[in-house]
Chains A and B, each alone.
Chain A
Amino acid sequence: MNKKCYIVGLPGSGKTTFLAALWSIITMTNDRALELKKCTNQEYMNGISEKWLSCNQMEHTSIETVRETSVEISETENGTEFTLVLPDRDGEYFKYEKRQDTIEADFHAELKESDIILFFINPAIIRKELAYGEVTSKYTDDKVIPEAEDSLMSEAITLREEDNIPDRNRWEENTLGDVAEHAELLNSMLHSGKKPLEIRIIVSAWDVFYDGSGKVKPGDIIKDRMKLFWQMVETHKEDIHVVYWGLSAQGGDWNDEEERKVIAEKNAEDRIIVVDQSGRDVGDMTRILL
């Protein structure tokens, strides 16, 4: 039986890091749920694996160089063999601006051929926003009602700074907000014509949310930070079968030098954090594909 997995995710969502970690785990360790049989683009996979092992940030994948990698894997439990085709698309490809006309048609064609979609989302980089009206509600809750609206707005700007809400000038290159980009991507997938879609939503950078208690669930993080997107998932359960996963392939913040050193000293499999949709730590990232 052949299962084809299609990786989807916006820039910075952790797709390449996932591939690198997966390759490292499959090639280096035994006693896995999945066992490597064959790979078509070994040089590329080895390259990103090395970077991952040495805790170096992955390069931004260029849209011009689509490295379709096919990995044949066998499921160790019952010996079923299947092929994972993992096209490593640049995150820009999935953004709304790019997915117009012919690219959208190609995207839908690829979705139709796939059995499972791995949808990577990094909620840690979703920018917080403050809208008109939300400020007034905050203030009336505290029973502090400024008399002059001018002072209300200056207070709001201070509030924004305290909450680390970024300045919108950064958004000039983006035409949709972060949550809206994800929602629009999901909308496009719903229009692909394939029903039902099997989607594994992988909440990456899970180290940011993980507290070891097993109570934090990936679905709850999405619900809290990406309400619009979460609602779309909930309303189309007949057309999309979603399973949430939490994954930290990096194991921590590689930008923090101290933390990076600690992570680098760990065994490959020990640095990865994987939780299932109930928040339970499953330990083995290959379970995502099963």
Chain B
Amino acid sequence: MVSDEVVRSEITIEKHEKNAVFEDETQGYMVAGETDSEGEDSYEYIDTLLDETDVFELASKTDTRIIYILGDTKSGKTTFETLLYHLFYSHIDDEWYFAGSDTLPAFEARRQNILIDGRNPEGLNMERTWPGDGHHVFLHMNLRNMLNGEFKHILLTDISGEDYKNCSSNRSLIDERLPLVAQADRLIIFLDAKKLLDPMKRAVVIKDAISFLRMLRDKYDTADVTPPVVYFAISKSDRLSVAEKEYADFVYNIRDRFSVLGSLFEMNFYWITIKDWYKPSDKRHTAALDFLKNLLKDKKKVLPAIDRNEIENGLEDEFNRLRRRWVNE
């Protein structure tokens, strides 16, 4: 059996050989603490992530929103989280301001991977999330709505693609690897547009997502909690350089495939691109900031109205039964 260390060093050697982000899916990533092919020491990350106890402490005091980010390997999950942070680093929005983070060093460590400089001339060299990372830890961001003064504490997870795939076929792993998913307000499932364009890969991507959500559905039923809102983030949407009609058909086709889930979850589809993340939203893609604002929108819990028929079915007293006769007049 090949140990992790051997696997990692093989990946390291391949690092500089290709412009891997755009052409080759077998990209190597620089791994924290490992030496690269030129023998120089790479810088170390400081990862200060919140665990479940920290999350409970925070949730006891503040309005928190747990967002689980899932998806296949290299679909852009970690890059997206990093970009959410970088948005506030480089830009001041009118509505939402950055109010702090208890995991700022962890965000910073990730942000280094999207900076262009001598060490990273390609400008996007995100470290891979390994299976086992991110199970019980969260990134934290405190945002304040400057229009109404409310604070919102966002807790982001970053689960590896392998863990996501394993959970989609094994319900018991969801409890083990996604412990707070029952408390999650939002679920973002990343779908790689590049894979969706390939009909054969598309089937696998969609199957994994549907299977995962079905596994999750059972969990919500037994836990007696409201399912989260599901956001499908179709990443690398800049690859969809097709004519308008074909684009519309493609979009319809993708949405239609998820219709088998019925009304299990409230589902939203967003087309995002890391490459043009600065651009404002248009017909074909949603800017990262607009996507974040949608995530932050409060959705008032709608409970079913109390079914008074349940109470009234057994009533015998005539005075009580008046209600049934008169209430709809």
Q: Which residues of A contact B (CB under 8 A)?
A: 96-97, 129-137, 140, 149-150, 153-154, 156-157, 160, 165-169, 171-172, 175-177, 179-180, 183-184, 186-187, 190, 223, 227-228, 230-232, 234-236
Contacts and interface: CB of A to CB of B under 8 A. Distances in A.
A133 B105 CA distance: 22
B145 to A, nearest CB: 10
A169 B92 contact: no
A153 B46 contact: no
A172 B86 contact: no
A228 B88 contact: yes
B278 A136 contact: yes
A157 B88 CA distance: 24
B88 to A, nearest CB: 6
A132 B89 contact: no
Contacts of A228: 88-89, 98
Contacts of A186: 100
A175 B92 contact: no
Contacts of A227: 88-92
Contact of B115 (A129, A153, A183, A184): A129
Given A168-B112, A235-B144, 19 more contacts: A129-B117, A130-B117, A130-B123, A131-B115, A131-B116, A133-B114, A134-B278, A140-B276, A167-B117, A167-B119, A176-B104, A177-B108, A184-B104, A187-B101, A227-B92, A228-B88, A235-B98, A235-B99, A235-B151
B231 to A, nearest CB: 21
Contact of B90 (A131, A154, A175): A131
Interface residues of B, number: 47
A169 B92 CA distance: 28
What is the predominant secondary structure among interface residues of chain A facing chain B?
A: helix
A149 B98 CA distance: 32
Contacts of A156: 116, 121, 123
Contacts of A177: 108, 111-112
B132 to A, nearest CB: 23
B43 interface: yes
Interface in B76-93: 83, 86, 88-92
B88 A231 contact: yes
Nearest to A186: B100
Interface of B: 19, 22, 41, 43-46, 83, 86, 88-92, 97-102, 104-105, 107-109, 111-112, 114-124, 144, 146, 151, 274-279
B269 to A, nearest CB: 22
Contacts of B92: 223, 227, 230-231
B119 to A, nearest CB: 5
A232 B118 contact: no
A134 B276 CA distance: 8
A183 B100 contact: yes
A165 B279 contact: no
B279 A137 contact: yes
B319 to A, nearest CB: 55
Contacts of B115: 129-132, 168
Contacts of A232: 98-100
B117 A176 contact: no
A160 B274 CA distance: 20
Nearest to B142: A235
Contacts of B124: 132
A175 B121 contact: no
B27 to A, nearest CB: 14
A223 B88 CA distance: 12
Contacts of B90: 131, 134, 227
A14 B114 CA distance: 31
Nearest to B46: A175
16 contacts: A133-B276, A154-B121, A156-B116, A165-B116, A168-B115, A169-B118, A171-B112, A177-B108, A179-B89, A187-B100, A187-B101, A187-B102, A190-B100, A227-B88, A227-B92, A228-B89
Given A133-B277, A165-B117, A175-B109, A231 B19 contact: no
Contacts of A223: 92
B293 to A, nearest CB: 15
Contacts of B120: 168
A179 B107 CA distance: 13
B116 A135 contact: yes
Nearest to B238: A136
B117 A160 contact: yes
Contacts of A149: 19, 22
B86 A131 contact: yes
Given A156-B123, A176-B108, A179-B89, A130 B116 contact: yes
Best-buried of A96, A157, A235 by chain B (most CB within 10 Å)? A235
A133 B116 CA distance: 10
A56 to B, nearest CB: 34
Contacts of A96: 46, 105
Contacts of B109: 175
Contact of B97 (A136, A168, A235): A235
Nearest to B101: A187
Given A136-B276, A227-B89, A230-B92, A172 B43 contact: yes
